[in-house]
């Protein structure tokens, strides 16, 4: 298998949409069992499902180049849809009494978007790197922290390599994304008293 094929598979398997759909139910399950997983599905549907649907429609209509939105100038509409979907999820979870960890996780998604959306309008920061790094921070809260951070850090490094290998980002763009994802997620969890 060539490096190009590996990079494409890593990019697809660990895409932001995939992580945002899979992570909340897993975190909910690990933190609070099946009821937590159910709350996580609500977060997944809004935070991941809605933006994925918007992107899929954009790709089918030809307005977007792919579900990775390589062309930075085409990111604004889908990103605004993602912000709206995350806000909806946050309101639903807060009003319906979801577990604090899931409310904090969705708040961290919003915080990361608050930083990455304005940046990407001028410079193509990596959402792949930001979301994968944020996911590792959340998982380190519900799994043994040190092994999760080590293994997760290696996975984030693999995501960064894949994005650079495919020439979708520079090393500066993936490193900036990883830093933003890590710091916004860690800061949000700390603000909720969870770190």
List the chain domain ranges. 3-191
Q: For 26, list phi and psi in degrees, rounded to 5.
A: -65, -45
What number is the average pLDDT over the span 103-119? Answer: 95
Residue 109 reports pLDDT greater than 80: yes
pTM of the predicted model as reported, rounded to 2 decimal places: 0.91
CA distance 67 to 95: 32
Cα 86 to Cα 6, 48, 81, 139, 141, distances in angstroms: 31, 8, 9, 19, 21
Tell me the per-residue pLDDT of 48-101, one tens digit each, with 9 for 90 and over: 988 888 888 888 988 888 777 777 778 788 888 889 999 999 999 999 989 999
In this prediction, residue 9 has a pLDDT band, given cuts at 50, 70 and 90, of: very high
Alpha carbon dihedral 36, 40, 41, 43, in 10-degree steps, equals: 150
| Structure confidence at residue 137 (pLDDT) | 97
| Structure confidence at residue 70 (pLDDT) | 74
- Contact in structure between 74 and 47 (CB atoms under 8 Å): no
């Amino acid at each position: 298998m060539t490096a190009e094929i590996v990079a494409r598979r890593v990019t697809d398997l660990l895409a932001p949409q995939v992580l945002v759909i899979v992570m909340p139910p897993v975190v909910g399950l690990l933190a609070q069992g099946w009821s937590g997983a159910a709350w996580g599905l609500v977060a997944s549907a809004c935070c991941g499902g809605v933006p994925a649907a918007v992107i899929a429609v954009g790709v089918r209509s030809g307005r977007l180049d792919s579900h990775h939105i390589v062309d930075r100038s085409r990111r604004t509409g889908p990103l605004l849809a993602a912000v709206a979907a995350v806000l909806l999820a946050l309101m639903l979870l807060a009003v319906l009494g979801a577990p604090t960890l899931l409310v904090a996780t969705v708040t961290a998604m919003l915080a990361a978007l608050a930083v990455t959306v304005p940046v990407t309008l001028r410079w193509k920061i990596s959402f792949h790197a930001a979301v994968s790094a944020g996911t590792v921070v959340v998982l380190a809260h519900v799994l043994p922290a040190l092994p999760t951070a080590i293994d997760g850090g290696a996975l984030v490094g693999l995501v960064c390599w894949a994005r650079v290998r495919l020439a979708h980002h520079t090393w500066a763009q993936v490193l900036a994304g990883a830093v933003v994802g890590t710091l916004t997620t860690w800061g949000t969890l700390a603000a909720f008293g969870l770190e």
